[in-house]
Amino acid sequence: MNKHFYKIIGYVFLLSFVLIPNGAFAFEKIQMQLQPENDFVVEPGKTDLFLNKGETVTKHILVTNRINKTISFKLTTEDLVGTNSASSPIVLMGDEVGPYSLKNFIKPEISEFSLNFGERITIPVTVSVPFDAEPRGYYGALIVSNEPDKLTEESTIGAQGKTRIVSRIGSLFLVKINGEGKEEGNLEDFKISGPTRPFYEKKPASFEVIYQNTGNVHLVPYGKIVVKNLMGMNVGTIPVDAYFVLPNSTRYKEVLWDGNSFLFGRYTANLSLYRGYGNGYQDMKVSFWVLPWKILVPVFVGLIIFVTLMYYLLTRFELRKKK
């Protein structure tokens, strides 16, 4: 009988690993060897999910305390929306409900915890999509904030007039429900970053790609910029790394042009951008002049002085010869 009893216990133990989802296991803390940085780190910064109606998945976030003391943290969820602003491409909604609300679908295993200096915690986060969810995008963020030190009655008197700072870091969740969502976007503009100039003293530091998403799911455009001179020769190829654009918003993407190559003359930058859906690419170009006048002016003045001096010497030599 004991033999059969142990067999049953063994089967139950094995089935627990098969039937219990990963998210059911507890969070985990480990001690890291770190240098104090007076901050904390949240990973990953973004999670992309493509789910079916009624599906549930479990992901994990990692929080690392690099502040040289024990810190208490709090987890909350907020909705996320895109904007048409170049400086603030996304906005957290706080207590408000966004048009593509996800915050009620995100459930971290714990909502409060504390970390000693150098500790890292791994927290399971469950994302559950209801069966009646529309096939479109849903966007939210899991916010990790540090709670200010609790003040005693004595320390409250000494802390009067001081600001208690709360830091907040968000881990974004971009969820797309499989189905007939509206994928639609357009390349609005492509230009050199900064104010328009008749010419540039040196090669432009960066370009700006402006893309508008008019659909109801987020898009991920990417591509490349090829710069050619007046003779059609390639002088630079710049990758446009993939980036997300939320529905009903416009995203301004700065693309840096690295390197210290010397340019002189007229150039054309050709952008080829994959729109983030289907097989469609959009092309756009911008032309510009590079005239390094700080180099050209001294050279030009030097040439004038040299020609004038040669003319003077030659004419003086001819006059003396005639005499």
Report residue 199's pLDDT band, with 50, 70 and 90 as the boundaries: confident
Q: Is residue 90 part of a domain?
A: yes
Q: Is residue 255 part of a domain?
A: yes
Whether residue 172 sits in one domain with residue 27: yes
pLDDT tens for residues 34-46? 999 999 999 999 9
How far, in Å, CA of 45 to CA of 66, rounded?
17
Whether residue 189 sits in one domain with residue 136: no
Whether residue 210 sits in one domain with residue 170: no
Whether residue 145 sits in one domain with residue 206: no
Q: Is residue 308 part of a domain?
A: no
Amino acid (one-letter) located at 34? L
pLDDT tens for residues 119-176? 999 999 999 999 999 999 999 999 999 976 554 444 334 444 445 567 899 999 999 9
Q: Is residue 230 part of a domain?
A: yes
Q: Is residue 311 part of a domain?
A: no
Whether residue 196 sits in one domain with residue 87: no
CATH code assigned at 73: 2.60.40.10
Q: Which of 20, 22, 26, 42 is nearest to 110 (CA)?
A: 26
Whether residue 169 sits in one domain with residue 26: yes
Whether residue 130 sits in one domain with residue 192: no
Q: Is residue 279 part of a domain?
A: yes
Domain count across the chain: 2
Provide the domain limits for residue 212.
185-293
Average pLDDT over residues 169-186: 94
Burial of 285 (0-12, 13-18, 19+ CB in 10 A): middle
Whether residue 270 sits in one domain with residue 169: no
Q: Is residue 313 part of a domain?
A: no
pTM value?
A: 0.79
Whether residue 245 sits in one domain with residue 229: yes
